[in-house]
Amino acid sequence: MAALLGLILVILTHRGQTLAAAALVGMGVFITVVGMEPVRFSDRFVFGLPWLRGGLALIPAVLGLFAISQAFILLQSSDTPRKIPKVIGSPFAGLFEVFRRLKRVAVCSSGFGIIMGIIPGVGEFLAQFFSYGLAQKLSKTPEKFGKGSSEGLVAAESANNAVPAAAMIPLLALGIPGEALTAMMLSVFRVHNLIPGPKLFETQSEFVVGLYVCLFLINFVVLAFLLTATPLLIRVIKVPERFLGVVVLTLALVGVYSIRNSLPDCWVAIGFGLLGYVLRRVNWPLVPIILGMVLGEIIEAKLRTSRAPG
């Protein structure tokens, strides 16, 4: 029931692209049908290819849709030289400004991001969009939004950073990823034979506690890194985009191949990369496909269990 509700929410939360989201969710659910049928062990849509009997793995699909598709876009871009923006003032000054003058915006946007993160399929974009709009309506200087307003930046990024942590709630409790990042985490869990759900807290309590501690500590690590490394990170924009595309494509394919030492997995990732490239060009969302794959597998497993005799 929760998985079916997740599919419905994925479709409804993509306002203006409802039909596209529904079609992509359906595509993701259909992809889970490929492979060996779990009860009668009959082949489904394998077309005589032995490596398809195990189904299409989630990790090649995720890396293909998000990483390889972006690599294709970078490879197609022009290598026009870009100027490095100047860093004005100290990063610590901006940090103190958030706590001194913009704490209300940060707290409200973070709370909104938490709510959006708990709902499966919403993702960071909608959380940023609505938090930014709400902050603009409540601001005393709404005319500055869209022109580098610190209020707009804090609102969007507070919501953006709150979503992934909140998305861990449906992932760990129900096994339902809330957005793209937790869908990737679910694939990593499966590699290590960790099945999210209520039993995870009983059988792997040490892992859950360690995960929470790491999620808490990583915030301080990221903060320290960004405060000290921002001037260096800005220089990345001088790297030609085509070179970055080659690097991203190479790392993604190496990562896919290293999972099962399977060359067909690389072809699957490239296929999903081409699909993701087309979807990016027509401005269709990518997340519904992944969530359709994840939730479709859960729905089929529960349906098989409910129809089992006895």
| Residue 63 DSSP label | I
**Contact in structure between 60 and 265 (CB atoms under 8 Å):** yes
Q: How far apart (Å, rounded) are the C-alpha atoms in residues 246 and 67?
A: 11
Residue 203: the pLDDT is 85
Shared-domain flag, residues 70 and 89 = no
For residue 253, being part of any structural domain is answered with: yes
3-state secondary structure of 46: coil
Shared-domain flag, residues 62 and 101 = no
Shared-domain flag, residues 189 and 166 = yes
| Residue 238 DSSP label | G
For residue 235, being part of any structural domain is answered with: no
Residue 70: the pLDDT is 92
Shared-domain flag, residues 92 and 73 = no
Q: How far apart (Å, rounded) are the C-alpha atoms in residues 154 and 159?
A: 8
Q: What is the mean pLDDT of each run of 10 residues along the chain (310 residues)?
A: 68 76 89 78 78 82 91 84 64 66 82 81 68 78 74 83 84 77 79 82 86 88 83 78 91 90 91 94 86 79 66
Shared-domain flag, residues 290 and 191 = no
Is the torsion defined by CA of 201, 203, 207, 209 positive or negative? Answer: positive
Place of tokens 């394919």: 253
Residue 166: the pLDDT is 85
For residue 220, being part of any structural domain is answered with: no
Please compute Rg for the chain using Cα positions: 21
Residue 130: the pLDDT is 73
Please, which residues have CB within 8 angstroms of residue 20's CB and are 6 or more apart in sequence? 14, 284, 285
For residue 216, being part of any structural domain is answered with: no
Model confidence pTM above 0.85: no
Supply the range of the domain harboring residue 51. Answer: 1-79+240-310
How many domains does the chain divide into?
Answer: 2
Q: How far apart (Å, rounded) are the C-alpha atoms in residues 18 and 14?
A: 6
Shared-domain flag, residues 4 and 59 = yes
Q: How far apart (Å, rounded) are the C-alpha atoms in residues 159 and 127?
A: 6
